[in-house]
Amino acid sequence: MKRPYYLFSSGRLKRQHNTLALEKTSGERLPDDSPEDEGVPSSLPDGGRTQFPIESVDSLFLFGEIDINSKLITFLGQQGVPAFFFDYYGNYSATLYPRENLLSGRLRIQQAHHYLSPKRRLTLAKAFVEAALFNIERVIKYYQPRLEGDAQQETQATLQALVRDRGALPLTTDIFTLMAVEGRIRDRYYKLWPHFLGKEVASKFPMNKRERRPPSNELNALISFGNSLCYSTVVRQIYRTALDPTIAFLHEPGDRRFSLSLDIAEIFKPLLVDRAIFRLLKTGEINSKHFEKHLGGCYLSDAGRKIFVQHWDERLSKTVHHRALDKKVSYERLIRLECYKLIRHLSDPAGNTYQGLHMWW
């Protein structure tokens, strides 16, 4: 059984006896972008070494400062293990995406065809936004019954706007408007977060609006970090299918290298990212001491990232009953199923029209 491995330590990751070994360093890590940096490791391995079985590795998430060489890259390629790199601040920086062994030429052509045909592209783009809005609605409805007074009213108003906008999606005629609708709803949704978090938590972590580069406060830092995890988690699921990760429908191929992942991630963010943030803040597992300020931005500290990632990993393995398959399916597997639904649509748009995941639980 293959699972993701998360490397928080710094050091050298290497291929050793046909498996993986991490030689850890214990020194202080220097920021990746310091001007006097010479590109050598911040500190050298001090002998501590952990080997782990390559057969159990689905993918690698590298949060520390990791030194690698081409032997390792070749090995990961042979083994079909993608690796995701994060910089000093925890920002997603790159993916090592091994050669795709499941690609299908015909499917790729279909995918490009659906991108190039404005009508077909719009159909898919709408489906992503529709499902994203539906799942935001589910999250709002989950918290709404516990709210009172103004909070209740404001939530109700947002819900009404959301339902109205979602209902109007079929009339939308271009992607730009679609993006704008989603952005508008998300802004209103973020304004409700203080209500969902409760007075005590909200007083420590204010939420005004979404600010990305750099994240302006703690909640923005959490959203950015969570979204990066979501993006890379979707990439690693797409990798296990015949889909081409670079051709998207809602997003433009240039938005990120694997733009299809951005499309699919929209659907899963409310379930995976937003709810993880509420949970971690409400339980106090993540609190003020887990944030650091750098260059006018706010970031999760190493310890904070580790807590977030551990929770993330657990959350992905939570299961729900899938009616059509009549079995329990993990949240992570739901992402894979989303890819399969997309393949069905691309192969037979009229007979198997894509509808994004609607949380049914």
> Measuring CA to CA, which residue among 7, 53, 59 is closest to residue 335?
59
**Rounded least distance, CB 268 to other proteins, Å:** 15
For 76, the token pair is: 């990961």
Give the pair of three-digit tokens for residue 165: 């906008």
Q: Does 98 bind other proteins (CB under 8 A)?
A: no
> Contact with other proteins (CB under 8 A): which of 32, 154, 211, 313?
313
- Out of 33, 34, 37, 56, name the contact with other proteins by CB under 8 A: 56
Residue in 242, 248, 250, 273 binding other proteins, rule: CB under 8 A: 242
Q: Is 50 in the site for other proteins (CB under 8 A)?
A: yes
Nearest to 1 by CA among 241, 317, 239: 317
Q: 283-302 b/e with 16+ CB inside 10 Å = b? A: eeebbeebbeeeeebbbbeb
Angle of the 105-116 helix axis to the 118-143 helix axis, nearest 10:
90
Among 310, 317, 353, 355, binds other proteins (CB under 8 A): 310
Q: Angle 203-207-208 (CA atoms, 0-180°, nearest 5)?
A: 125
Q: Which residues between 176 and 235 bind other proteins (CB under 8 A)?
A: none
Distance of CA 60 to the CA centre of its chain: 15
Q: Which residues of 97-130 are buried (b: 16+ CB within 10 A; e: fewer)?
A: bbebeeebeebbebbeebbeeeebbbbbbbbbbb
Position 335 contacts other proteins (CB under 8 A): no
Contact flag: residue 336 with other proteins (CB under 8 A): yes
φ and ψ at residue 10, rounded to 5 degrees? -95, 160
Q: Closer CB to other proteins, residue 192 or residue 339? A: 339
Contact residue for other proteins among 74, 347, 353, 355 (CB under 8 A): 347
Site track for other proteins across 101-130, x = CB under 8 A: -xxxxxx-----------------------
Query: Which CB atom, from 43 or from 152, has the smaller least distance to other proteins?
Result: 43
Min dist. Cβ of residue 13 to other proteins (A):
9
Name the residue nearer to other proteins (CB basis): 63 or 205. 63
For other proteins, which is the closer residue by CB, 146 or 358? 358
Cα torsion through 122, 126, 129, 132, rounded to 10: -140
Phi, psi (degrees; rounded to nearest 5) at 297: -115, 165
- Of the candidate residues 164, 296, 351, 360, the single one contacting other proteins (CB under 8 A): 351
**Shortest Å, Cβ 170 to other proteins:** 24
User: Minimum Å distance from CB 134 to other proteins?
Assistant: 18
Q: How many angstroms from the chain centroid is the CA of residue 222?
A: 12
Structure tokens at 237: 């699921």
In the numeric block, which tokens belong to residue 284?
A: 């106090």
**Contact region for other proteins (CB under 8 A) — 47-55, 89-97, 152-160, 273-281?**
47-55
Task: Round to the nearest angstrom and report the end-to-end CA distance of the chain.
Answer: 27
Beta carbon of residue 135, minimum distance to other proteins (angstroms, whole number):
18
By beta-carbon proximity to other proteins, the closer residue of 13 and 162 is 13
**CA neighbours within 13 Å on the CB side: how many for 122?**
13
Which region, judged by CB under 8 A, interacts with other proteins, from 52-60, 146-154, 181-189, 266-274?
52-60
**In the complex, what is the shortest distance from the CB of residue 106 to other proteins, in angstroms, rounded to a whole number?**
5
> Smallest gap, in angstroms, from Cβ of residue 255 to other proteins?
26
Shortest reach from residue 54's CB to other proteins, in Å: 6
Please tell me the distance from the alpha carbon of residue 224 to that of residue 239, in angstroms, as a whole number: 23
Separation CA 1–CA 55 (nearest Å): 8
**302 scored as a contact of other proteins (CB under 8 A):** no
| Binding site residues, other proteins, CB under 8 A | 1, 3-9, 17-19, 22, 50-56, 102-107, 240, 242, 306, 309-310, 313, 322, 324-325, 336-337, 340-341, 343-344, 347-348, 350-351
